[in-house]
Structure 1
Amino acid sequence: MAANDASTVINIRADIPTKQFHAQPLDPNFGRNEVMSYNTVTGELSQLSAVFTMKNTGGSIDASLQDGPAALTNGTDSIPLTISMGTVVLDGTPKEVAADAESNPGLQKTLVIKAAKPSDTQTGLYNAVATVIFDNVPRTVTP
């Protein structure tokens, strides 16, 4: 006679940044299945935001979008997205988002994603994948 068995699969993940350089969201689930809700009164999509903790003990931090400007798309049509870190709007060119002096002890900045207002003909399911690249910019030493 066979005994009844039961099992549970538990997936565990830990992401431990280095003490010298890191840039990551405080919410470890940010970026997984985010939803921009459509407001039927204003005709606009809700914005997304997340606080990032950042540190670079050896210089400043630049950020850029891996594939240039981001957009929601349905395969044939697109809605532009504006992605900013603090007050810096990101595109395909690296831009400083944390100066050397502020990044050395560590800081927090908010990443915000806003969509342009969809036109009346833009309906259906739209998706986007945006990759933000954070660069460790070494401090320049002058002789």
Structure 2
Amino acid sequence: MFKKFVMAAPLAVLAFSSSMAFAAGEARQSIDLRAHVPTNTFHVQPVTPISGPQSFFYRVQDGGFDPLSFQFDTRNTNGSIHASLESLVELFNGANTIPVKVEFNGVELTTTPQMVVDEPTSTPGHRTSMRLTPAAPGVGGYPAGDYVTVANVTFDAVPPVVTP
């Protein structure tokens, strides 16, 4: 019996110590998952999610910024799609501004709603792009600083105009 106890005790210590080592090295990760299924009649949504701040990359050779482009899937089975800006888009650093041109499907957006996808194109669905382009730097370049802004775009499902 003593031999059994002598053998069992070291094995038990080994088993407990190894399980403690595994517990001490444990790591966990939470992943936030989301899914969106758009309506079949109207939607305008990015092909890949646009999350977090998007950065314009500064070009050292000419002092300008590379534009940003995003692909969108659009559909309106009952008319065209119009778009507008909530306000003009300007990067701001607390003292200086850099205007940003926003284009959707090749149409420059303003604060006035305008057609960006016509009815024949939007009815079956259409993939297009949104492009944001900062204004070219003036003489002497942009003033140094960290610039921020938010571009708020509104998309409207516009029913077809029926003439009597």
Report the TM-score, using the length of structure 2 for normalisation: 0.78
Per the TM alignment, residue 21 of structure 1 is displaced from its structure 2 partner at its CA by 0.2
Quote the residue 1:83 is aligned against: 102
- % identical equivalent positions: 37
Of 33, 40, 43 in structure 2, the residue corresponding to residue 22 of structure 1 is 43
- Provide the secondary structure at the position in 2 that maps to 1:44: coil
Structure (1/2) with the larger strand percentage: 1
Q: Which has the larger radius of gyration?
A: 2
Per the TM alignment, residue 32 of structure 1 is displaced from its structure 2 partner at its CA by 2.7
Instruction: Count residues with an aligned counterpart.
Output: 139
Quote the residue 2:76 is aligned against: 56
Contact kept, 8 Å, 2:76 with 2:125, in 1: the verdict is: yes
Unaligned runs of 5+ in 2: 1-19
More contact order relative to length (CA 8 Å, sep ≥ 6): 1
Unaligned runs of 5+ in 1: none
Contact kept, 8 Å, 2:77 with 2:122, in 1: the verdict is: yes
- Pair 1:111 & 2:114 matched: no
Per the TM alignment, residue 121 of structure 1 is displaced from its structure 2 partner at its CA by 5.0
- Provide the secondary structure at the position in 1 that maps to 2:120: helix
Q: Output the aligned Cα RMSD.
A: 1.7
Report the TM-score, using the length of structure 1 for normalisation: 0.89
Runs of 4+ that moved beyond 4 A: 3-7
